[in-house]
Amino acid sequence: MHTILNTADYERMLTRINALQGDERALWGRMTVNEALCHVTDVFRMALGEIRLPDRSNLFLRHVLKRLVLLGVPAPKGKIKTDPELDQSQGKGTRPATFEQDKQRFQDYLAAFSNKDEAFSFFPHPQFGQLTKAEWGRLLFLHTNHHLTQFGR
């Protein structure tokens, strides 16, 4: 399974990020490429505890949906709502700066997450609850992959 903790997947993710030009149009959804970079970076920041969201989990989300997502069952495009605290359309979440700054910030957080050891206390996911580093690595890969695909990468 793909994860940002795998060296090949990590390098491929960087290659795909670096292939972005900044003027791509989304194949679906409403985000610009800069907004998507900020959005995926915010989820890394959430895993690291810099952005704290309230617990919205329940038994089904923590034990059933989490497993399906981590197995790679694709999210229906345009059907998953962004947490309000990360939703740029609601004036929340990190606002874009310049394309190069947003791209560099993503790369910095990708490295910061990857360099944390297993003992680091990752912040719980708002729907899935406490995740291991391996589970966060898989989820961050899937989420970033989803948004890169949104821009044809």
> Tens digits of per-residue pLDDT, 96-138?
999 999 999 999 999 999 999 888 999 999 999 999 999 999 9
The full set of domains in the chain, from first to last, is 7-150 (1.20.120)
Higher pLDDT, residue 149 or 89: 149
SS3 76: coil
SS3 content of the chain, % helix, strand, coil (to 5): 55, 0, 45
pTM value is 0.93
The percent of residues in the chain predicted with pLDDT above 70, rounded, is 98
Q: Residue 11 pLDDT > 90, yes or no?
A: yes
pLDDT at site 119 = 86
Closest C-alpha to 103, from 28, 43, 24, 21: 21
pLDDT tens-digit map of 69-97: 999 898 777 677 888 888 877 778 899 99
